[in-house]
Structure 1
């Protein structure tokens, strides 16, 4: 419908004639363009929008009107046209006049969508619109949005050069276009794609490699879709230059090799399948959160010698945590290393932070919101340099090892929403830097250990454990007056270790007592003489008593 609401200005006569010429090539069997007649003001026609002051046509929106026939590029002679959408119709011909200069005078065009015009042909149940070249794009210097998806462009070998004539372009959608390659004409010194924010070249487009220079041209990209494009070879290292990327889909291609550099940040995409095992041994940061990865956590991931930030949260991973997690040596001992110049979203202490440089001294493991199960391996609690650990929203079982008290640098610990059981180990009170703790919604029982920090946390840190009591829950019937002394353990507390400690204690006590007495008798003369007198006295008494008993017996 028209946007000429005030009815003050009629359609420009020149625009009126241009629209009628465009209308001649359209087969409108459903009568969608019944309002397009010579007698009516063109600003009242279906899909036509005019400027209320000048009366010039500024928009033509005929999306999904079941229109057939030809798209006549004569429509581009509308000088003030800023929006043109002919998508999702059944056009089968594009008519481009032979004299290019006579058709494109509209430098005001900002939005152009010819996508997905499918029609029934004699050769195929469904065919697509064909276009031999994109030379007509060059005058559209103000264009910000271009969607040619579904148009067959297999004859256009210079599509990159054509796009290069659009310096203001923000969004380019060319999926299902049968593009052949990424070849760049040697006459072009550089591509001007720096403004691009969205790029979709997906679905049956290429049979070539991704050139390494490609991602250097589009550093502001936030959306990149190259799925199902027959791309092969290695992933270019320049992919990591896309620091603003929020969506990336490289699925269903033939990519191979390792992903280079020190940081791998592919978070918040739609990657599926298993986590790749061929990664650079130099990786320090691995972020794969918010994807659709399945399968188990590959042990190779824990053999990266420099890794200090691992984030696999919000995927579909299953299985247990490999015991080789202890091989993350940078989380066990302090190593000098440089900062990683990559911005990341850091999730710690229940908050989300955006940091521009990754601190190698902030060691993090986040495996939350997956389908992981089994016991939490003892080796994980031996990563004594770890500062943030998040295992929440999984299916972990078993108890927490008392050796957790050795993780002296821990600042944020989240084990909530699992099936962990038993008592909370007393050694947890030794985590003096702990600023965030969440043990809620498990099966913990007994009393919350009394320590300098645990009672300062909100009760929400412990709720959802029906058999757990003590401050800050304050639901215990008695209060423990003499809490056990917290002692971190390096191994599991089993019966053998208890018996061994008891035997050692008894042996040590006997040795101390024996040598305490015997040593004093040997070294101190007065003690020795007094001891001998005592023994003589006892002997005399025993002798007298014995003789009296014997005399009494003989008399009888």
Structure 2
């Protein structure tokens, strides 16, 4: 009787382990099937964005950026969109990171990508509704202005790096509607890049998640007020060479 009960107990234990193994196998296979499958709409948007750009040459105009990137990356410095092809899942393209479960593009890091061209307001770059991080640093987009359409990332973007991009003109007020921003770097855009004082005030006061704000070489020309109401989350604020006046 005791032996029979032990056998029944062992059988139940075996069945439990077997069912658990089947469940784990199902979950694993489902994850592997669903992971790294790029959204076709977003893949097409990235390919159209690639067509808007060119690879930088090695003229004096781009030599400064080229030298910095080559020092950083060595043999890893090459045109980053070279493997952006329809035959490759876009989640496996250089500089692209996807959400493994949904296939949405969430991170686009094209820094030191040997890219040049103009980013227009109707650029398909802004057709990535789930983008959380965008890094275009150390490319040449002169004479682009940062389009107001950056606001299309208002519900998702947390990190924006546009340093050394050659952007010119006013930083759009729509930047202040990127409410989830944690990191914003607009530094060293030497071609008359400007930021209105009221936009700066809104960034400092209303960006409740912002921790890093770098505006080095962005012209502001503000006479400093007696008191700045700065969001308490801010940990780094770089205002060098901005034309700020006063104490």
- TM-score by length of structure 1 reads 0.27
Contact between 1:182 and 1:211, CA under 8 Å: does it hold in 2? no
Per the alignment, residue 181 of structure 1 pairs with 169
Q: Residues 184 and 66 (structure 1 numbering): CA distance in 2 closer, same or farther, change over 3 Å? A: closer
Tell me the distance in 2 between the aligned counterparts of 1:172 and 1:77: 29
Contact between 1:107 and 1:140, CA under 8 Å: does it hold in 2? no
Per the alignment, residue 334 of structure 1 pairs with none
Tell me the distance in 2 between the aligned counterparts of 1:204 and 1:144: 22
Per the alignment, residue 194 of structure 1 pairs with 179
Per the alignment, residue 106 of structure 2 pairs with 110
SS at match of 2:134: strand
Deviation for aligned residue 1:78: 6.9
Per the alignment, residue 336 of structure 1 pairs with none
Counterparts of 1:246-285 in structure 2, within 5 Å, are 246-257=235-246
Deviation for aligned residue 1:81: 2.6
Counterparts of 1:14-53 in structure 2, within 5 Å, are 52-53=32-33
Aligned length: 172
Deviation for aligned residue 1:196: 0.2
- Considering fraction of residues, name the structure with more helix: 2
Q: Aligned to 1:210, which of 190, 196, 208?
A: 196
Q: Residues 214 and 249 (structure 1 numbering): CA distance in 2 closer, same or farther, change over 3 Å? A: closer
Tell me the distance in 1 between the aligned counterparts of 2:238 and 2:182: 15
Contact between 1:167 and 1:193, CA under 8 Å: does it hold in 2? yes
Gaps of 5+ in 1: 1-50, 87-105, 119-127, 258-556
Contact between 1:200 and 1:226, CA under 8 Å: does it hold in 2? yes
Q: Aligned to 1:243, which of 226, 232, 241?
A: 232
- Moved beyond 4 Å, runs of 4+: 72-80, 235-239
Per the alignment, residue 221 of structure 2 pairs with 232
Largest Rg, 1 or 2: 1
Q: Residues 236 and 167 (structure 1 numbering): CA distance in 2 closer, same or farther, change over 3 Å? A: farther
Deviation for aligned residue 1:77: 9.2
Tell me the distance in 2 between the aligned counterparts of 1:242 and 1:160: 24
Higher relative contact order (CA 8 A, sep 6+): 2
Alignment RMSD: 3.8
SS at match of 1:256: coil
- Considering fraction of residues, name the structure with more strand: 1
Counterparts of 1:128-139 in structure 2, within 5 Å, are 129-133=116-120, 135-139=123-127
Please list the CA deviations of residues 428-482 of structure 1 after superposition, one character each: whole Å capped at 9, or x if unmatched. Answer: xxxxxxxxxxxxxxxxxxxxxxxxxxxxxxxxxxxxxxxxxxxxxxxxxxxxxxx
SS at match of 2:181: coil
Q: Residues 190 and 138 (structure 1 numbering): CA distance in 2 closer, same or farther, change over 3 Å? A: same
Q: Aligned to 1:85, which of 83, 95, 112?
A: 95
Contact between 1:141 and 1:166, CA under 8 Å: does it hold in 2? no
Tell me the distance in 2 between the aligned counterparts of 1:228 and 1:111: 26
Contact between 1:171 and 1:198, CA under 8 Å: does it hold in 2? yes
Q: Residues 191 and 70 (structure 1 numbering): CA distance in 2 closer, same or farther, change over 3 Å? A: same
Whether 2:132 is the aligned partner of 1:144: answer yes
SS at match of 1:146: strand
Gaps of 5+ in 2: 1-30, 39-72, 97-101
- TM-score by length of structure 2 reads 0.54
Contact between 1:131 and 1:153, CA under 8 Å: does it hold in 2? yes
Contact between 1:138 and 1:166, CA under 8 Å: does it hold in 2? no
Contact between 1:196 and 1:221, CA under 8 Å: does it hold in 2? yes
Contact between 1:176 and 1:203, CA under 8 Å: does it hold in 2? yes
Q: Residues 76 and 170 (structure 1 numbering): CA distance in 2 closer, same or farther, change over 3 Å? A: farther
Tell me the distance in 1 between the aligned counterparts of 2:87 and 2:154: 18
